[in-house]
Amino acid sequence: MKSLHRYLTMAGGALIIIALFLPFTELLGQSVSGLKLQGATKFYLILGVGMIVLGYLDKKKSYYYAALIVGVLVILLSMKYQSDVKKFSTVGMGLWVLLLSGVITLAGGITGIRSKKEVTT
């Protein structure tokens, strides 16, 4: 597949945004979504939109290094959130989707780097 890296990167970005709308945990009988994260919501929205735009542009190999870094960052942050939530409550679907989005973005970055043999300027 010639443009698998583009679709993986854009799907990872879209899943980052979708994960924010899903419940991250349940606290005192109320589900708490990713939109209630203090300050981190904008950060994840920027990352998600950035990955969608990056996959759409598909110009340089260096774009996929950014996808690689974002993928690892999202994976690590979602694992941290999961360990924090497990201390007090159950892990919600939003955190699992956030972890999946990081893995898909990471896969998009890896396939993008491997498919772009030469760097175009």
pLDDT of res. 19: 92
pLDDT in tens, 14-53: 999 999 999 888 877 788 888 877 778 888 899 999 999 9
* Conformation bin of residue 58: beta by default, left when phi > 0, alpha when psi is -120 to 50: left
10: nearest Cα among 71, 75, 94: 71
Residues 88, 68: Cα–Cα separation, whole Å: 31
Residues 27, 20: Cα–Cα separation, whole Å: 16
Contact present, 10 and 63 (Cβ < 8 Å): no
Strands 30-33 and 23-27: antiparallel
pLDDT of res. 33: 84
3-class SS at 59?
coil
pLDDT in tens, 64-102: 899 999 999 999 999 998 998 888 888 889 999 999 999
CB burial of 45-55 (b: ≥16 within 10 Å; e: otherwise) equals eebbebbbebb
CA angle (84 as vertex; 24, 26 as ends), nearest 5:
35
pLDDT at residue 121 above 50? no
pLDDT of res. 1: 52
Q: Where do the structural domains in the chain lie, given as residue ranges?
A: 4-115
Model confidence at 10, pLDDT cuts 50, 70, 90, reads: very high
